[in-house]
Amino acid sequence: MVFRPFDPDNPRRRRFKAVPVRMLVPNVITLLALCAGLTAIRLAFEDKLDLALAAIVFAALLDGVDGRIARLLKGTSKFGAELDSLADFVNFGVAPALILYFWGLHDFKSVGWIAALVFAICASLRLARFNVMIDDPDKPAWAGKFFTGVPAPAGAITVLLPIYVNFLGLERGTILTGFTLVYVLFVAFLMVSRLPVFSGKQGGKRVPPDKVLPVFVLAVLFFALLLAYPYEVLTIGTLMYLGALPLGYLSWQRHAREAAQQAAAPAPVAAAETPGTMPPDVPRDDSDDRPARLN
């Protein structure tokens, strides 16, 4: 029978289970970030670089939120992790490379295009390595405080520094574009390097009650400054981030030394007990040692 009659008493079994809404919310945020990254490419092609930079920053903010919301709602999934990696490659690998090429790297023709390609490829390699290392069973607990190499969102915000200073008044000439060519390759190397970088994932999960209002004030102040003085905030933030990279390396070295010292320290040996003696922390009962009373 081609068209079987519908039997209301025996409905067909669904092939897939219903997906909870809590698992859809993080993926929707990731897709919004992907839309922002793709829109940044279009805006850069239309020579609207200020809006393109705003779209990249917006995508970075969404990328920092989707994972935390997924863990908060207990909506993490393998599909969400793969979607997040693909979106990050477009938002923080392809989009910044094309923005820089349309802005000034095209002056160097093929050499500029190669630099943009290297940055995008290094971003993809950085994301692939992160996905492989995230489930490493031999990774110590303290290593979760660090990324291996500069993460892709931070690399995207950092690599756009020449455009920030250009909007601050520095003319786009041969010196600035030449610096950009070398700088793009430098940031690409930082992403694929094994440099330990603070992750910040194990901190800031709980806020003391007396710090709630100051945190709100600082958050509002940061976003107000970002909206009022975007290029100044991005420039200062990028320089501070680059300056803090050696601090992450020194902190990782300190944790590694402490872990090595703990592993090399001899295990405590329990004191041997001699016959007829009791452990020092157990009270001795001498009732059986007293002489029996004669009747």
- Please tell me the pTM assigned to this model: 0.79
- Please determine, for residue 285, whether its predicted confidence score (pLDDT) is greater than 70: no
Instruction: Assess if residue 6 is contained within a domain.
Output: no
Q: Which of 130, 122, 116 is nearest to 85 (CA)?
A: 130
Residue reference for tokens 């209002």: 213
Q: Which of 155, 154, 151, 153 is nearest to 134 (CA)?
A: 151
Q: Which of 184, 211, 187, 207 is nearest to 197 (CA)?
A: 187
Instruction: Assess if residue 54 is contained within a domain.
Output: yes
Instruction: Assess if residue 98 is contained within a domain.
Output: yes
Q: How far is CA 18 from CA 12, 15, 31, in A?
A: 15, 10, 20
Q: Which of 96, 93, 33 is nearest to 64 (CA)?
A: 33
Q: What average pLDDT does range 173-181 have in this prediction?
A: 90
- Please determine, for residue 103, whether its predicted confidence score (pLDDT) is greater than 90: yes
Domain CATH number, residue 106: 1.20.120
- How high is the pLDDT of residue 295? 35
pLDDT 10s digits, 45-76? 999 999 999 999 999 999 888 888 888 887 77
Instruction: Assess if residue 107 is contained within a domain.
Output: yes
Q: Judge contact between 164 and 234, C-beta under 8 A.
A: yes
Angle at 129 between CA 123 and CA 133, to 5 degrees: 145
Output the average pLDDT for the chain. Answer: 81
The total domain count for the chain is: 1
Per DSSP, the three-state class of 19 is coil
Q: Judge contact between 241 and 164, C-beta under 8 A.
A: no
- How high is the pLDDT of residue 39? 95
Instruction: Assess if residue 240 is contained within a domain.
Output: yes
- Please determine, for residue 184, whether its predicted confidence score (pLDDT) is greater than 60: yes
131: which residues sit within 8 A by CB, 6+ positions away? 81, 85
Q: Which of 104, 128, 125 is nearest to 116 (CA)?
A: 104
Q: Give the whole-number percent of the chain exceeding pLDDT 70.
A: 77
Per DSSP, the three-state class of 146 is strand
Beta-strand pair 196-198/146-148: antiparallel
- How high is the pLDDT of residue 132? 80
Least confident range of 3-17, 59-73, 272-286: 272-286
- How high is the pLDDT of residue 96? 95
Q: How far is CA 109 from the centre of its chain?
A: 33
Instruction: Assess if residue 254 is contained within a domain.
Output: yes
Q: How far is CA 121 from CA 115, 188, 208, 280, 281, in A?
A: 10, 9, 42, 66, 64
- How high is the pLDDT of residue 188? 94
257: containing domain: 21-133+141-202+220-262
Joined together, the tokens standing for residue 107 give: 């002056």
Instruction: Assess if residue 276 is contained within a domain.
Output: no
Instruction: Assess if residue 282 is contained within a domain.
Output: no
Q: What average pLDDT does range 103-130 have in this prediction?
A: 92
